[in-house]
Structure 1
Amino acid sequence: MLTIGDQFPSFNLKAVTQNDHSEGFPSVNEQDQSGKWKVFFFWPKDFTFICPTELISFGDLYSEFQKRNAQIYGCSTDSDYVHLAWRNSHPGLANLPYPMLSDIKRELSESLGILHPSEGVCLRATYIVDPEGKIRHVSVNDLSVGRNTDETLRILDGLQSEELCGCNWKPGQAHIKAA
Structure 2
Amino acid sequence: MGIIGSQLKPFTATAYQAGKEFFDVSDTDVKGHWSVFFFYPADFTFVCPTELEDLAEQYDTLKKMDVEVYSVSTDTHFSHKAWHDTSDKISKIKFPMLGDQLHTLSNNFGVLRETMGLADRATFVVDPDGVIQIMEITSEGVGRNAKELVRKIKAAQYVRAHPGEVCPAKWEEGSDTLAPSLDLVGKI
With the length of structure 1 as denominator, give the TM-score of the two structures: 0.92
Counterparts of residues 44-63 of structure 1 (less than 5 Å): 44-63=41-60
CA RMSD between the two structures: 1.6
Q: Give secondary structure in 2 for the equivalent of 1:15.
A: strand
2: CA distance, partners of 1:2 / 1:54: 26
Structure having the larger proportion of residues in helix: 2
CA distance in 1, matches of 2:2, 2:102: 18
Gap runs ≥5 in structure 1: none
Whether 2:3 is the aligned partner of 1:6: answer no
Offset at residue 2 of structure 1 (A)? 5.6
Provide the rounded CA distance (Å) in 1 between the counterparts of 2:2 and 2:116.
Answer: 20
Bigger relative contact order (CA 8 A; separation at least 6): 1
Looking at structure 2, the residues matched to 110 and 55 of structure 1 have their Cα atoms a distance apart, in angstroms, of 21
Superposed, 1:37-116 pairs within 5 Å as 37-116=34-113
* Shift in Å, 1:117: 4.6
Which deviations, in whole Å up to 9, do the C-alpha atoms of 1:60-119 show, x marking residues without a partner? 001111111111110000011111111111012113110000001111111221012532
The worse-fitting range, judged by mean Cα deviation, of 129-138 and 24-33 is 24-33
- Which moves more between the two structures, 39-48 or 168-177? 168-177
Higher-Rg structure is 2
1:125 lines up with 2:127 in the alignment: no
Percent identity between the two aligned chains: 35
